[in-house]
Amino acid sequence: MSKIKFPLAVLKPILDHLHLEEKKLKKRKQELKKEDPYEDQDRVNDNASIDTDAAEEAGHERVTALKSEIDRTLIRVRKTLTRINLGRYGQCESCGKMIDTDRLAVDPTASLCIDCAKKLPNKKQ
């Protein structure tokens, strides 16, 4: 079995895209930190009303949800970068078959072929 499935000319734009994506996600995470009321340093000393507390909690929950979404995407991006380095890009993680290139064009981080992805209806892979 040959190790490198895609020529560098094909992988290069994907790599560039993934690195850019990683950078954007990291930046977004930093920005989110500032939006999280729980990260507010003044908060420790304020005797906020219950209303404020509730608003802070809602804000914190929203930020936490967004953060975990970003983390999931970051993991996908990093996993894809690792697979490129290993020469396994485009190979289904489950069955080892090549993933359809149309599928990869839509989602470069796809790690399962269409057949395996269908078997996992709840997991968007």
CA dist., res. 71 & res. 68, Å (int): 5
| 54 or 95: CB nearest Zn ion | 95
CB of 99 to Zn ion, least distance (A): 7
CB of 114 to Zn ion, least distance (A): 8
CB of 108 to Zn ion, least distance (A): 17
- For 21, residues 6+ apart whose C-beta sits below 8 A from its C-beta are 73, 77
| 73 or 94: CB nearest Zn ion | 94
- Quick one: how far is CA 2 from the chain centroid? 29
Query: With 0-12 CB in 10 A as exposed, 13-18 as middle and 19+ as buried, what is 31?
Result: exposed
| 1 or 50: CB nearest Zn ion | 1
CB of 74 to Zn ion, least distance (A): 24
Q: What is the CA radius of gyration of the chain?
A: 20
Which residues of this chain interact with Zn ion, rule CB under 5 A?
A: 92, 94-95, 113, 116
| 81 or 112: CB nearest Zn ion | 112
